[in-house]
Structure 1
Amino acid sequence: MKNYFLYISLAFLFVFSSCKKEETPKPKVIYEDTSKAKRDVTVDATQLEIADLPIHMEGTNYLIHPIGEVSNNKKSIKYSYDSEAGFTISNYGEFQITGNLRNLKFQELGKDTIYALTEKPIFIETATYLKAFSEKSKQQLLVYTLSDLDTNKDNKLDSDDIKSICISEISGKKLTKLSTDFQELIDWKIIEEKNKLFFRTIEDTNKNGVFDKEDGLHYYFVNLLDKDWKVQEYKPI
């Protein structure tokens, strides 16, 4: 009987320890030569690059082509084609493109030329057209949440890397990173009456590789009418 309870106790401890391991957050930053996080990542040969049909945001003069990846496995491609959904890499609604995108390409209406947002590796989660601000200011802008550094050093860019905030003109030109390297974007919003974009980030101040309550928050704003989009930090608390 004693052996029976011993086995049960050991089994419980094993399951409990396994669960604890699974709950441990995966580090978003690996602190090995962080002065130069990798911007070049390996191309995954198992993935096939494709584009969704272009998106036209009302009131703009550009088409936007979302660029992403699907599995290069023949069986997966056949299934995706039959399901009519597997080749869709983005969603569009409320003037925002969402997805796990490798780039965006732009095409001015009436022209054949198509060009990329950037030639550098990136992983885009959202691209938001600031419609209300644009109508008011006559300055059409896009705001992006994306990853541009392989901060966890797994040789790829994805949602496991630090998320940043960037801005560009509606044409995709003048792409500018607003947040600081190695600071994770928390959220952002537009105050149209002030013509300002506000955003918060978190910095891994204790250098444990994850972002938690022990780390420090930063608060920033950008005057969208400023042609250089200069970022300024403020301290509300």
Structure 2
Amino acid sequence: MKNYIPYISFALIVLLPGCKKEEAPKPKVIYENSSKPKAEAATDTAQIEVADLPISMEGTNYLIHPIGVMSGSSKGVKSLDAGQGFTVSNYGEYQITGYLKNLKFQEIGTDSIYALTDKAVLIQTATYLKNFADKTKQQLMVYSLADMDTNKDGKLDSSDIESLYMSTISGQKFTKLSADYQELIDWKIIESKNLLYFRTIEDASKNGEFSSNDVVHYFYLSLNEKEWKPIEFFPLKN
């Protein structure tokens, strides 16, 4: 056994320098001089835009074209090497998911195609409110997306704050529902009352991270109104 001791010791010496400490998670928000972070994100010239084949939501008269990228440095990009081909989105249960730069809309029977927004965004989910449409004949879409480079790393990705938006099925009236710099927690529809409820969390401590010590906000809005104005309520107050 003595003959093996020097080799074991040498192996430990060789391996130790290769050990690295795990990197701490990056904050969602980085503040400069106690002011709000800038919203601009740098353009990645290495990205190649790709449009998936259009999606038709049942009972609607519009085609939706998901727009994403197939290469580049931004988080969430799906590469050809990963076996994803040219696909940049997934679809199921009236919801489009992915890391999308935009959605484009086309009324069936026309050649005109137009974008949901002209701003830099990263759309993670786009949900058609099918049950609500069946009941009220109003056809609406709800989106979760990043619209600001809140962690100031020069790009929009899933590490930035997630916000809640809504539009009509045609992509018109694209409206932000959650407040700036508040992270979306979740949302749901109360179909019997035609109401949309959602929760957000605010970085009250201004440490750039969200935790149980921060402030949770509760909102609802009527889907019957022409203008979508969330109303804050306080279920935890006596």
Contact 1:219-1:235 at 8 Å conserved across structures: yes
Cα deviation, 1:97-139, whole Å, max 9, x if unaligned, reads 0000000000000000000000010000000000000111111
Corresponding letter in the other structure for 1:202: I
Helix, strand or coil: the match of 2:142?
A: strand
Helix, strand or coil: the match of 2:192?
A: helix
TM superposition shift of 1:18: 1.1
After superposition, residues 107-146 of structure 1 pair within 5 angstroms as 107-146=106-145
Aligned residue number for residue 21 of structure 2:
18
After superposition, residues 66-85 of structure 1 pair within 5 angstroms as 66-71=66-71, 80=80, 83=83, 85=84
The number of residue pairs the alignment matches comes to: 220
After superposition, residues 50-65 of structure 1 pair within 5 angstroms as 50-65=50-65
Aligned residue number for residue 220 of structure 1:
219
TM superposition shift of 1:38: 3.3
Show structure 2 runs of 5+ residues with no match.
Answer: 1-8, 74-78
Helix, strand or coil: the match of 2:135?
A: helix
Contact 1:164-1:184 at 8 Å conserved across structures: yes
Aligned residue number for residue 190 of structure 1:
189
Show structure 1 runs of 5+ residues with no match.
Answer: 74-78
Contact 1:39-1:120 at 8 Å conserved across structures: no
Task: Quote the Cα distance in structure 2 between the aligned partners of 1:208 and 1:36.
Answer: 12
Task: Quote the Cα distance in structure 2 between the aligned partners of 1:231 and 1:171.
Answer: 22
Contact 1:152-1:160 at 8 Å conserved across structures: yes
Which deviates further from its counterpart, 206-215 or 91-100?
Answer: 206-215
Contact 1:42-1:155 at 8 Å conserved across structures: yes
Helix, strand or coil: the match of 1:198?
A: strand
Task: Quote the Cα distance in structure 1 between the aligned partners of 2:231 and 2:179.
Answer: 11
The TM-score, its normalising length taken from structure 2, stands at 0.86
After superposition, the Cα gap between the structure-2 partners of 1:30 and 1:138, relative to the gap in structure 1 and judged at 3 Å, is same
Helix, strand or coil: the match of 2:152?
A: coil
Task: Quote the Cα distance in structure 1 between the aligned partners of 2:194 and 2:62.
Answer: 23
1:28 aligns with 2:28: yes
TM superposition shift of 1:207: 0.7
Cα deviation, 1:47-95, whole Å, max 9, x if unaligned, reads 101100000000001000000001169xxxxx83995x32100000000
Which deviates further from its counterpart, 54-63 or 150-159?
Answer: 150-159
Contact 2:96-2:127 at 8 Å conserved across structures: yes
Aligned residue number for residue 41 of structure 2:
41
Corresponding letter in the other structure for 1:70: M
Task: Quote the Cα distance in structure 2 between the aligned partners of 1:207 and 1:88.
Answer: 38
Aligned residue number for residue 173 of structure 1:
172
TM superposition shift of 1:35: 5.2
1:99 aligns with 2:102: no
After superposition, the Cα gap between the structure-2 partners of 1:136 and 1:189, relative to the gap in structure 1 and judged at 3 Å, is same
Aligned residue number for residue 146 of structure 2:
147
Task: Quote the Cα distance in structure 1 between the aligned partners of 2:198 and 2:110.
Answer: 35
TM superposition shift of 1:156: 1.0
TM superposition shift of 1:36: 5.5
1:230 aligns with 2:229: yes
Helix, strand or coil: the match of 1:127?
A: strand
Task: Quote the Cα distance in structure 2 between the aligned partners of 1:231 and 1:82.
Answer: 41
Aligned Cα RMSD in Å? 2.5
Task: Quote the Cα distance in structure 2 between the aligned partners of 1:197 and 1:49.
Answer: 33
Runs of 4+ in 1 over 6 A off after TM superposition: none
Which deviates further from its counterpart, 137-146 or 42-51?
Answer: 42-51
TM superposition shift of 1:154: 1.2
